[in-house]
Structure 1
Amino acid sequence: MLEYTDYLKIFIALLAVVDPLGAMPIIASMTARDKASELKAIARTVVLSVTTMLLVALYIGQEVLIFFGISINSFRVSGGILLMLMSLSMLQGKISETVRNEEEAKEGKTKETIAVVPLSIPLLAGPGAISTVILYAQKGSGINHYLLISLDIIAVTAILWCVLRATPWLTQRLSQTGINVVIRLMGLILLALAVEFIAGGLKGLFPVLA
């Protein structure tokens, strides 16, 4: 089990990766024509889907890596590179194409049900969020370690639910500049985490660097 301050760090990291406020303009554009009752149902489905995906990654993600013969250090480097690509886009006030590209955007507009795809996956619980959960899960052991990370995930998705429910109100009061400031701040945090993951993975792969 890690220190309690480490679990606060994990919470901040997950919040930066999921980035509910940064994804809000996309969510707003996809749900603009929905009624209040429909938006409530979408918010509930999104939160359940994101929570389920991240909890599955937490509890069986490392076993999946073992099944495919992927070392955790290799995954640290690859996950760190993925987070770095995401963070560089966020520092420019954009949503990375590793999360959502133009083809997925067009496909999402044609679907009646968008809560699971693309809102939950890959926009919110995408490769970056899944990688982050798996990488932090392997840093400790024991039931308390996994329960505390589970609480971090639930706390992040609770914030996500609040943002989803308040999307119509927030879009009327927050400017694009304000949203971009939040995206860039989260991108900076994410970049620091990416460097940490890559450095740790390289030290594990090449002990001479330690």
Structure 2
Amino acid sequence: MFDLKQILSVTLILFSVIDILGSIPIVVNLRKKVGHIQSEKATLAAGFLMILFLLVGKSILNLFGIGVEDFAIAGALIIFALGAEMILGIELFKPDPEASSGASIVPIAFPLIAGAGTLTTILTLKSEYTQANIAVGIVINLVIVYGVLKSTNWLERKLGKTGLDVLRRIFGIILLSIAIKIFKGALFSGEMI
């Protein structure tokens, strides 16, 4: 039932798509806006979304008459907005002081961790790998995500303000590039990351 090679492949594919290391500047920036990010809540919400999509993703989209490409474009637009915010120093996602825990779900759990690229990749992986091996790959990635989210304070201290500013701009450009790639793939060839 479980195949170590499949699990390793799924884990590496999802790790590159989730790109939690690249999201560190976004998480630090959001934490500065809202005060506290609930790592457990963000990880569990992202895990729920990923497992739900693994089990019934295509059916859910079909129920609403949404194609995978439509879903990917919507996620790409949110990722694009986050990237623009990082590069230009503007504030598109305004914090709600009465719902500071909401930042753990949006935009961290969705779309940063379990975004359109991740969820679409999970749907795509089902054609090559067994559901059980994909689920194990998801869980391994969630453990990594949780570790990184819990370490952002330490990483921020090590990098300093200048290091974080440089990283934020670099990863802002990377996010814009990923958003454009997802957008173009969905529009023109139906291929995702």
TM above 0.5 = yes
Tell me, in whole angstroms, the C-alpha distance in 1 between the residues paired with 2:45 and 2:89. 26
| SS of alignment partner, residue 65 of structure 2 | coil
| SS of alignment partner, residue 126 of structure 2 | coil
Distance 1:153 1:30, change over 3 A: farther
Q: Does 1:107 align with 2:92?
A: no
RMSD over aligned Cα atoms: 3.6
Q: Does 1:124 align with 2:128?
A: no
- Give, in angstroms, the shift of residue 143 of structure 1: 7.2
**Which residue identity lines up with residue 18 of structure 2 in the other structure?**
L
**Which residue identity lines up with residue 178 of structure 1 in the other structure?**
G
Are 1:24 and 1:167, in contact at CA under 8 Å, matched by a contact in 2? yes
- Give, in angstroms, the shift of residue 14 of structure 1: 1.0
**Which residue identity lines up with residue 69 of structure 2 in the other structure?**
N
Are 1:79 and 1:131, in contact at CA under 8 Å, matched by a contact in 2? yes
Distance 1:200 1:166, change over 3 A: closer
Are 1:24 and 1:164, in contact at CA under 8 Å, matched by a contact in 2? no
Distance 1:148 1:195, change over 3 A: farther
- Alignment partner of 1:83 out of 53, 64, 79: 79
User: Where do 5+ consecutive residues of structure 2 fail to align?
Assistant: 1-5
User: Where do 5+ consecutive residues of structure 1 fail to align?
Assistant: 32-38, 206-210
Q: 7-16 vs 129-138, which deviates more? A: 7-16
Distance 1:6 1:202, change over 3 A: farther
User: Taking every aligned residue pair, what percent have the same amino acid on both sides?
Assistant: 21
Q: 59-68 vs 188-197, which deviates more? A: 188-197
2:57 aligned partner: 61
Q: Does 1:30 align with 2:21?
A: no
- Give, in angstroms, the shift of residue 125 of structure 1: 1.0
Q: Deviations over 1:97-133 (max 9, x none)?
A: 3xx423x2x1235xxxx3xx332x1131124533222
Please list, as runs of the form range in 1=range in 2, the aligned pairs for 1:1-210 lying within 5 A after superposition: 8-16=12-20, 19-27=23-31, 30-31=35-36, 42-92=38-88, 97=92, 100-102=93-95, 104=96, 106-109=97-100, 114=101, 117-119=102-104, 121-127=105-111, 129-142=114-127, 144=129, 146=131, 150-151=135-136, 153-204=138-189
Distance 1:201 1:43, change over 3 A: closer
Question: Highest Rg: 1 or 2?
Answer: 1
Tell me, in whole angstroms, the C-alpha distance in 1 between the residues paired with 2:178 and 2:134. 17
| SS of alignment partner, residue 124 of structure 2 | coil
Are 1:87 and 1:190, in contact at CA under 8 Å, matched by a contact in 2? yes
Which TM-score applies when normalising by structure 1? 0.65
